[in-house]
Copies of this chain bind each other. A is one copy, B any other.
Amino acid sequence: MLAYKEMNREELKKELESLKKDYEQFRQENVNLDMSRGKPGPDQLELSMGLLDVLNSKSDMISTDGFDCRNYGVLDGIPESKKMMAAIMGTSMDNVIVYGNASLSIMYDAISRSYTHGVLGHTPWCKLEKVKWLCPVPGYDRHFAITEHFGIEMINVPMDENGPDMDMVEKLVAEDEAIKGIWCVPKYSNPTGISYSDEVVKRMAALKPKAEDFRIYWDNAYAVHHLYADKQDEILDIIAECEKAGNPDMVYEFASTSKITFSGAGVAAMATSKANIDSIKKQMSIQTIGYDKINQLRHVKFFNDFDEVKAHMMKHAELMRPKFQAVIDMLESELKPTGIGQWTNPLGGYFISLDIMEGCAKKVVAMCKDVGMVLTGAGAPFPYGKDPDDKNIRIAPTYATPEELTKASRILIVCVKIAAIEKMLEA
């Protein structure tokens, strides 16, 4: 097959005609496929069913520090749960607060608290004229939804294979006191799957923001979510790096077991400096008497230690690799020869990021939807849902089976090709 740019108009038209027949064929097949959300598949959820057996009516419900996990109390989590979440984040348990089932809620809460009460004694953001935020793109749509919800102006920062453009980040935060934060998914980033290089982490930790209440929102969502046993990304510990750089209070780190055990019923945590923890706990003591300590205990008893967490993640990897591979194989065999797409082939995380011809992403997503195949909305990985180049498509290959993913990839690729040729013929 020729690369499209080497085809003449007649060849392109002929190719288009053939692709449209394929597309009509898909329509007649009444497919029902979904590559839209980063949800674990049912097979992955089965891996954690033992979680429901570790506690029963005969169990000892007392935490290592002597608290009855069934009763009220323990604001920041039982010690053994702090220890487990600290291991996942690669930090010390003294830096950890354990919450409920969702790290997204912790991030919302952190921004909401900053908005209503300020950060470590600084002016509450609701009293400021303008608050701005740095958003490495493509990124996680639910992050951007939170900052948008609070009327925070979001600024796109380009990402490359090492992380965000740190020249730009350093310059902007040093100049503009209105910039109060940056969203980061530092490991197996959503959606590109890249991990921040040591240099990027060190530069991030050494930022000299004009705003003293600037915070790095370090969503370590895929901390242990490797796809391979032998090829794994590792990132530096941002909390230690911030301490070393003299910015101990500058980072909030987040993680959860949502994609380790049950997505809807895991344990989420935050890690940060002692000063931040003391301040946050003051608000928490108004907000709750304590989170679900039984679920914290259940998770600790299921895993026992961090080695078991890592072993468990390899079971996920075994289920996920064929799914990622199904998509990558199709992209390699069906799209690569045309020269009209670029994609990531990550070592972990939940996504493949596909860049197609500029101006085509919305059209492709709509075409896929028309024949029963749901993708994440085009533009979703960008603030305000606006992909400036309209070219990025986020592929979530975890929920479906490898066979479904092969089928879904075929549909996607046909649509990508049609949109590209139509665009080329317009020119």
Interface assignment of A168: CB less than 8 Å from any CB of chain B: no
Which residues of chain A in 41-69 are interfacial with respect to chain B, using CB atoms and an 8 Å cutoff? 42, 45, 48-50, 52-53, 55-59, 61, 68-69
Contact status B145-A286, CB under 8 Å: yes
Is the Cβ of A150 less than 8 Å from the Cβ of B116?
yes
Q: Is the CB of B108 within 8 A of A69?
A: no
Most chain B beta-carbon neighbours within 10 Å: one of A42, A149, A293: A149
A104 to B52, CA, bound (A): 27
- Please give, as numbers and ranges, the residues of chain B lying within 8 Å of A50 by CB-CB distance: 57
Is A291's CB within 8 Å of the partner chain B?
A: yes
Is residue A290 within 8 Å, beta carbon to beta carbon, of the partner chain? yes
A279 touches B (CB below 8 Å): no
A56 in contact with B53 given A72-B263, A115-B116 (CB within 8 Å): yes
Could you say which of B39, B58, B71, B112 contacts A264, with CB atoms under 8 Å apart? Answer: B71
Contact check, B108 vs A112: say whether CB atoms are below 8 A apart: no
A116 to chain B, nearest CB (A): 6
Q: Evaluate contact between A52 and B45: CB separation under 8 angstroms.
A: no
CA distance A150 to B70 in the complex (A): 30
Residues of B within 8 A of A289 (CB): 102, 104, 142, 263-264
Is the beta-carbon distance between A105 and B292 smaller than 8 angstroms?
A: no
Query: Is A294 a contact of B71 with CB atoms below 8 Å?
Result: no
Check if A366 is an interface residue, CB within 8 A of chain B.
no
Contact of A265 among B127, B142, B294 (CB under 8 A): B294
A126 contacts the other chain (Cβ, under 8 Å)?
Answer: yes
Q: Given A55-B52, A292-B101: A72 and B286 within 8 A (CB)?
A: no
Determine if A45 and B72 form an interchain contact, defined as CB atoms under 8 angstroms apart.
no
Write out the residue numbers on chain B whose beta carbons fall within 8 Å of the beta carbon of A30. none
Known: A50-B57, A104-B289, A291-B101. A264 touches B72 (CB 8 A): yes
Is B294 a contact partner of A70 (Cβ separation < 8 A)? no
The CA of A271 and the CA of B356, in the complex, are separated in Å by 47
Q: Which residues of chain A from 136 to 180 have any CB-CB distance to chain B below 8 Å in the complex?
A: 142, 145-146, 149-150
User: Is A288 engaged at the interface, CB distance under 8 Å to the other chain?
Assistant: yes
User: Residues of B contacting A146 with CB < 8 Å?
Assistant: 286-287
Task: Confirm or deny: A343 has a beta carbon within 8 angstroms of a beta carbon on chain B.
Answer: no
**Chain B residues with Cβ under 8 A from A116's Cβ?**
112, 115-116, 126, 150
Chain A 64-117 residues near chain B, CB threshold 8 A: 68-74, 100-102, 104-105, 108, 112, 115-117
CB atoms of B286 and A108 under 8 A apart: yes
Contact A52-B59, Cβ < 8 Å, known A264-B73, A288-B104, A295-B292:
yes
Most buried by B among A146, A264, A292: A264
Q: Judge whether A71 and B39 touch: CB under 8 Å.
A: yes
Q: Please, which residues of chain B bring their CB within 8 A of the CB of A293?
A: 264-265
CB distance from A399 to the nearest CB of B (A): 9
Q: Given that A52-B57, A59-B52 are contacting pairs, would A149 and B100 also be in contact in the complex, using a CB cutoff of 8 Å?
A: no
A229 shortest CB reach to chain B, Å? 25
Excluding A39-B72, A71-B263, A73-B264, 10 further A-B contacts by CB distance (< 8 Å) are A45-B61, A45-B70, A71-B264, A100-B292, A101-B292, A102-B288, A108-B288, A264-B293, A265-B295, A292-B295
The 7 A-B pairs of least Cβ separation, nearest first, read A49-B57, A265-B294, A126-B126, A70-B262, A108-B287, A72-B263, A45-B70
Residues of A bordering B, CB below 8 Å: 37, 39-40, 42, 45, 48-50, 52-53, 55-59, 61, 68-74, 100-102, 104-105, 108, 112, 115-117, 124, 126-127, 142, 145-146, 149-150, 258, 262-265, 283, 286-295
